[in-house]
């Protein structure tokens, strides 16, 4: 049995792991029965800060921007700059947790900028494109 301390989202936990593929030396007694699982102990020290700053959701910069409704990956961009779009027309497909989300035009207008491409990871609220 080996004991480890792991930290998940800044909260440390103590866990015991049983090694199954360990060969005992000859003449050794069998391993004792495993102890019952331990409940997470309260933090004894200050949580360790993450390596970088926490992710912050981007916000739309102008009223013309179409923000991402969720964090995900761009699967396809279905319009081009200069293209006229109508309300509810499909603009972009995002994938998050193996599900596609279809981003549609909130109003009629012309696409003035596209800020992402297929394969781009986006944050919630990040401007995907602009409709002027």
Instruction: Count how many domains the chain has.
Output: 2
Domain region containing 46:
1-50
Q: What is the DSSP string of the chain?
A: -EEEEEEETTEEEEEEE--SSPPPPTTPPPPPPPPPPPPPPPPSSPPPPPSSPPP-----SSTTEEE-SSSEEEEEE---TT-EE-TT-EEEEEEETTEEEEEE-SSSEEEEEE---TT-EE-TT-EEEEE-
Please tell me whether residues 75 and 108 are part of one structural domain. yes
Residue 96 lies in a domain: yes
Whether residues 35 and 90 share a domain: the answer is: no
Is residue 60 domain-resident? no
Residues 86, 34 within the same domain: no
> According to the model, what pLDDT value does residue 109 have?
95
Predicted pLDDT of residue 38: 61
The per-residue pLDDT for 52 is: 46
| Residue 69 included in any domain | yes
Task: Please check whether residues 69 and 121 belong to one and the same domain.
Answer: yes
d(CA 79, CA 87): 13
Query: CB atoms < 10 A from the CB of 120, how many?
Result: 16
Whether residue 42 is found in the same domain as residue 93: no
Please check whether residues 76 and 122 belong to one and the same domain.
Answer: yes
- 57 found inside a domain: no
Res 2: pLDDT:
82
Per-residue pLDDT of the chain (132 residues; tens, 9 = 90+): 788 888 887 888 888 888 777 666 555 555 565 555 566 665 555 555 555 444 444 444 788 999 999 999 999 999 999 999 999 999 999 999 999 999 999 999 999 999 999 999 999 999 999 999
Q: Looking at the domain assignment, is residue 59 inside a domain?
A: no
Structure confidence at residue 6 (pLDDT): 84
Q: Is 58 within the bounds of a domain?
A: no
- In this structure, the answer to whether residues 111 and 75 fall within a common structural domain is yes
Residues 83 and 110 in one domain: yes
Residue 76 and residue 35 share a domain = no
């Amino acid at each position: 049995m080996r004991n480890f301390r792991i930290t998940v989202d800044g909260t440390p936990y103590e866990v015991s792991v049983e090694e199954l593929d360990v060969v005992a030396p000859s003449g050794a007694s069998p391993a004792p029965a495993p102890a019952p699982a331990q409940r997470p102990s309260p933090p004894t020290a200050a949580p360790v800060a993450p390596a970088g700053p926490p992710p912050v959701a981007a916000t739309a910069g102008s009223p013309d921007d179409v923000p991402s409704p969720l964090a995900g990956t761009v699967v396809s961009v279905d319009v081009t700059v200069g293209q006229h779009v109508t309300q509810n027309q499909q603009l972009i497909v995002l994938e998050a947790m193996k599900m596609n989300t279809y981003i549609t035009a909130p109003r009629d207008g012309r696409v003035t900028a596209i800020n992402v491409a297929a394969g781009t990871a986006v944050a919630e609220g990040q401007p995907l494109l602009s409709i002027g």
